Structure 1
């Protein structure tokens, strides 16, 4: 995870690496297009160690 200056409560991801996070059948109910802009995300702390890049 890398911190960026984006709106609180949002996350960013790179594609195509993040494609595996969205099921193929996760479609918008109105348009039928892939729902990549509205995917629930949960981030959990696994270590208290912070590594600087």
Structure 2
């Protein structure tokens, strides 16, 4: 019976880790999507980056 109990504890731990990794992946993907949308706004992009100044021509 000891092996069965150990397997059950391991299964619970693996499920907990899987849930945490899933939440982390969802948060990272949401952050990536938000970052992409914010960089499409001219005023926000100008405030966050200096790329247009270095390129010499404004992005349009």
- TM above 0.5: no
The structure carrying a bigger helix percent of its residues is 2
Normalising by structure 2, what TM-score?
0.22
Higher-Rg member (1/2) = 2
Normalising by structure 1, what TM-score?
0.23
Higher relative contact order (CA 8 A, sep 6+): 1
